[in-house]
Amino acid sequence: MIRAVMVINTQGKPRLAKFYDFMPVEKQQELIRSVFVVLCSRAENLSNFVEADSIFGPDTRLVYKHYATLYFVFVFDDSENELAMLDLIQVFVETLDKCFRNVCELDIVFNFSKMHMVLNEIIFGGQVLETSSTEVMKAVEEITKLEKASNAISLVPRSVSSWQS
């Protein structure tokens, strides 16, 4: 089972943190910090796997991938395959890339909810739900379309006035 997904930037700021078992906020911060410390200490061209039992408990490991200013981190237990998780990160990032056309950290910061939407389509309750970025994109687009449709009616009049205040 996947325990957590994190996106942390190279300064250690969390950009996304999703824990599939509930964690209190303080604990989340602590975990993010310790993961960041571990990641920082690793040079380039090393393996993408880190045994994480000192952070997340026995038999956990994490797989990370470093893209530009961001670390994508998946934490999971021994029922998952490391290499496959690495590819899942790839799927996630690929999808984000399709979503935002050449994704960058800013997209992620400001489209916080969209990123969650994408992630929810890929991982559901700690299990891998969908691994095709095309399928995920389809779902996300559909959602966005419907959301817009449903909002268009109620929001148009007020949003114009309130938007830039």
Partner 1 sequence: MEQLKTIGLEQLKTIGRELAMGSQSGSGWGLSKEFLDLVKSIGESRSKAEEDRIVLTEIETLRKRIIEPDIPKRKMKEYIIRLLYIEMLGHDASFGYIHAVKMTHDDSLLLKRTGYLAVTLFLNEDHDLIILIVNTIQKDLKSDNFLVVSAALTAVCKLINEETIPAVLPQVVELLCHQKEAVRKKAIMALHRFYQRSPGSVSHLVSNFRKRLCDNDPGVMGATLCPLFDLISSDVNAYKDLVISFVNILKQVAERRLPKSYDYHQMPAPFIQIRLLKILALLGSGDKHASENMYTVLGDIFRKSDSSSNIGNAILYQCICCVSSIYPSTKLLDAAAEVTSKFLKSESHNLKYMGVDALGRLIRINPDIAEEHQLAVIDCLEGTYDILDIRFWKIIANKDPDDTLKRKTFELLYKMTKSSNVEVIVDRMIDYMISITDNHYKAEIASRCVELAEQFAPSNQWFIQTMNKVFEHAGDLVNVKVAHNLMRLIAEGFGEDDNGEDSQLRSSAVESYLRIIGEPKLPSAFLQVICWVLGEYGTADEKYTASYITGKLCDVADAHSSDDIVKGYAVTAILKVCAFEIAAGRRVELLAECQSLIDELSTSHSTDLQQRAYELQAVLGLDAQAVERIMPLDASCEDIEVNPLPLMIMSFLDFVNVDIDKGLLFLSTYVQKSLENGAKPYIPEQERSGMLNISDFRNEDQREASSPALRFEAYELPKPSVRASSPVPHASSTDLVPIPEPTYVKELQATSRPPASDTGPMELKLRLEGVQKKWGKPTYSSAPSASTSSSQKPVNGVTQVDGMGTISSQKHEVSYSSRRPQVEISPEKQKLAASIFGGSSSKTERRLSSTGQKTARVNSPAMKKSEVASAEHPSEKAAPLQSPPPDLLDFEEQSVPNNTPSVDPFKQLEGLIGPDEVSSTNNHGAVGANRPSDLLTLYDTPTTSGLSSSVANLPQTSMDETNLMSTLPNLSNKSIHGENIGTHQAPLRKGPNLQDALEKHAVARQVGVTPSGKNPNLFKDLLG
Smallest distance, Å, CB 74 to partner 1?
13
Q: Please pick, from the candidates 3, 17, 56, 118, the single residue that binds partner 1 as defined by CB under 8 A.
A: 17
Total residues at interface with partner 1 (CB under 8 A): 78
Site string for partner 1, 106-145 (x = CB under 8 A): x--xxxxx--xx--x---xxxxxxxxx-xx---x--xx--
Smallest distance, Å, CB 77 to partner 1?
12
- Rounded Cα distance, 84 and 61, in Å: 13
Residues 75-104 interacting with partner 1 (rule: CB under 8 A): 79, 81-84, 86-88, 90-91, 93-94, 97, 102-104
Residue 5 sits in the site that holds partner 1 (CB under 8 A):
no
Q: Please name which of 113, 7, 13, 112 lies closest in space to residue 65, comparing C-alpha atoms.
A: 7
Gyration radius of the chain's alpha carbons: 17
Q: Please pick, from the candidates 70, 73, 75, 118, the single residue that binds partner 1 as defined by CB under 8 A.
A: 70
Q: Are 131 and 35 a contacting pair, CB within 8 Å? A: no
Nearest 10 degrees: Cα torsion 133, 31, 68, 97: 20
11-25 as b/e: b if 16+ CB within 10 A:
eeebbbbbbbeeeee
Between 50 and 75, CB nearer to partner 1? 50
Residues 41-60 interacting with partner 1 (rule: CB under 8 A): 42-43, 45-51, 53-54
